[in-house]
């Protein structure tokens, strides 16, 4: 391999390896976020769907999910009455064998749905159906015409995960209060330099090492990377170079020449650990989110808490980078003890200020792809 090609591979690999630290991520490549925004009439095929209902579901679909798998499906029972389901084909059994994170992902979807419904003049009644984390039918939503509750929907459109250019500055108490809102009993913050912060950083690095060298976990990650533009167009989900914060010629090179074998290589994994080590040198602190129990309803509610927080961070220039490998690798109880937290932990998030907030780049399936 000549020097220039080696340099390209190293540069591309560095950006691509950022995915090793993502549990709740978004993706976008050569196809932009606007790809799931189409003129209503040409794509509207379900006669039980009203135009504003369609738009509500489009906003709901801008929620985060593990590997950007987008596990949600919606059965349209009648106009304004929907069953929200979780599709096992988009679960992540290697890193999430109990489907805890898949269930969490339904929370942001429902939160977006409720907020968008209010902006379109509906109240959304949510009744939880799931009794286990692997039940396919998760919730029933009923829309009722009501007074309009204005919400800036651009917050839903502009939310994103940010992994690069974190500043070593602890988040202020005022900003923490702002983004936590009424959920302050479920949200904990630990500055990077604190005992707890160092405990989380050390544990996160070790858990990433374990996960990166677990064959089934690395293979699962590789399966969700959309290297080519054709795959991005075909699936409209998963991870792409843009979501991994690559740009320019490095992004083009990866899309043209990378495949699953690169992700499974020893050098790729070792470089991935190096990227995580660098990430853990530059950040403000950790946000930990708990729930009040381990049943599906409480876990979904934890996902909604995360989303409510995430929708407030851009205006404060706070970047959120979920890193929950400690939970995925079975260290949840140890983390609870180390942090002196009694309730089950659902999110561990690296959080920092940034100088500039990038635009969202996540691939999204069109509404007609996940409704029936």
Q: Mind listing the domains of the chain with CATH numbers?
A: 3-23+160-353 (3.40.109), 33-158+360-364 (3.40.109.10)
Structure tokens belonging to residue 323? 């890193």
Report DSSP state, residue 161: -
Cα(99)–Cα(72) distance, integer angstroms? 13
Q: What confidence score (pLDDT) does residue 29 get? A: 38
Q: State how far the alpha carbon of 101 is from the alpha carbons of 67, 300, 344, in Å.
A: 10, 9, 13
Cα(308)–Cα(118) distance, integer angstroms? 15
Q: What confidence score (pLDDT) does residue 331 get? A: 97
Cα(119)–Cα(260) distance, integer angstroms? 42
For residue 345, what are the β-bridge partners? 290
Contact 354, 317 (CB under 8 A): yes
Q: What confidence score (pLDDT) does residue 239 get? A: 92
Strand intervals (E) in 196-344: 285-290, 318-322
Contact 301, 311 (CB under 8 A): no
- The H or E element containing residue 205 is helix 195-212
Structure tokens belonging to residue 91? 């679960």
Comparing CA positions, the residue from 338, 9, 25, 367 lying closest to residue 188 is 338
Per-residue pLDDT of the chain (372 residues; tens, 9 = 90+): 444 445 444 544 544 444 443 333 333 334 555 544 444 444 556 778 889 999 999 999 999 999 999 999 999 999 999 999 999 999 999 999 999 999 999 999 999 999 999 999 999 999 999 999 999 999 999 999 999 999 999 999 999 999 999 999 999 999 999 999 987 899 999 999 999 999 999 999 999 999 999 999 999 999 999 988 889 999 999 998 888 777 777 677 777 888 889 999 998 899 889 989 999 999 999 999 999 888 999 999 999 999 999 999 999 999 999 999 999 999 999 999 999 999 999 999 999 999 999 999 989 999 999 999
Q: What confidence score (pLDDT) does residue 37 get? A: 46
The packing angle between helices 195-212 and 266-279, to 10°, is 170
Q: What confidence score (pLDDT) does residue 129 get? A: 98
228: number of Cβ within 10 Å: 17
Pairing of strands 285-290, 318-322: unpaired
What pLDDT, in 10s, does the model give residues 217-258? 999 999 999 988 889 999 999 998 888 777 777 677 777 888
Cα(226)–Cα(241) distance, integer angstroms? 8
Q: What confidence score (pLDDT) does residue 364 get? A: 96
Cα(303)–Cα(307) distance, integer angstroms? 6
Q: What confidence score (pLDDT) does residue 23 get? A: 39
Contact 105, 65 (CB under 8 A): yes
Q: What confidence score (pLDDT) does residue 8 get? A: 44
């Amino acid at each position: 391999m000549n020097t220039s090609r080696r340099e390209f591979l190293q540069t591309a690999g560095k950006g691509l390896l950022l995915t090793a630290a993502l549990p709740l991520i978004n993706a976008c490549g050569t196809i932009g976020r606007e790809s799931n925004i189409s003129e209503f009439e040409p794509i509207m095929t379900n006669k039980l769907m009203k135009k504003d209902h369609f738009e509500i579901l489009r906003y709901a679909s801008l929620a985060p999910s593990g590997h950007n798998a987008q596990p949600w499906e919606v059965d349209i029972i009648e106009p304004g009455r929907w069953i929200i389901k979780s599709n096992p084909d988009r679960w992540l059994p290697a890193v999430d064998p109990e489907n805890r994170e898949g269930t969490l992902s339904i929370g942001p979807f429902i939160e977006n749905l409720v907020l968008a419904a209010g902006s379109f003049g509906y109240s959304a009644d949510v009744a939880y159906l799931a009794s286990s984390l692997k039940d396919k039918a998760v919730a029933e939503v009923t829309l009722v015409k009501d007074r309009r509750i204005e919400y800036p929907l651009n917050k839903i459109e502009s939310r994103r995960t940010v992994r690069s250019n974190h500043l070593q500055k602890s988040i202020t108490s005022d900003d923490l209060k702002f983004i936590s809102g009424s959920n302050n009993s479920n949200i904990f913050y630990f500055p990077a330099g604190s005992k707890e912060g160092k405990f989380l950083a050390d544990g996160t690095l070790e858990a990433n090492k374990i996960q990166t060298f677990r064959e089934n976990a690395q293979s699962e990650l590789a399966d969700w990377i959309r290297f080519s533009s054709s795959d991005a167009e075909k699936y409209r989900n998963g991870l792409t170079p843009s979501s991994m914060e690559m740009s320019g010629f490095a992004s083009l090179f990866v899309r043209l020449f990378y495949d699953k074998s690169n992700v499974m290589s020893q050098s790729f994994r070792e470089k991935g650990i190096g990227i995580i080590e660098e990430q853990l040198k530059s950040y403000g602190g950790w946000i930990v989110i708990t729930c009040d129990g381990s049943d599906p309803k409480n876990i979904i509610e934890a996902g909604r808490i995360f989303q409510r927080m995430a929708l407030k961070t851009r205006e404060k220039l706070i970047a959120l980078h979920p890193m929950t490998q400690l939970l995925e690798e079975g260290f949840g109880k140890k983390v609870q003890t180390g942090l002196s937290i009694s309730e089950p932990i659902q999110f561990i998030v690296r959080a920092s200020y940034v100088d500039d907030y990038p635009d969202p780049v996540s691939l999204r399936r069109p509404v007609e792809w996940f409704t029936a």
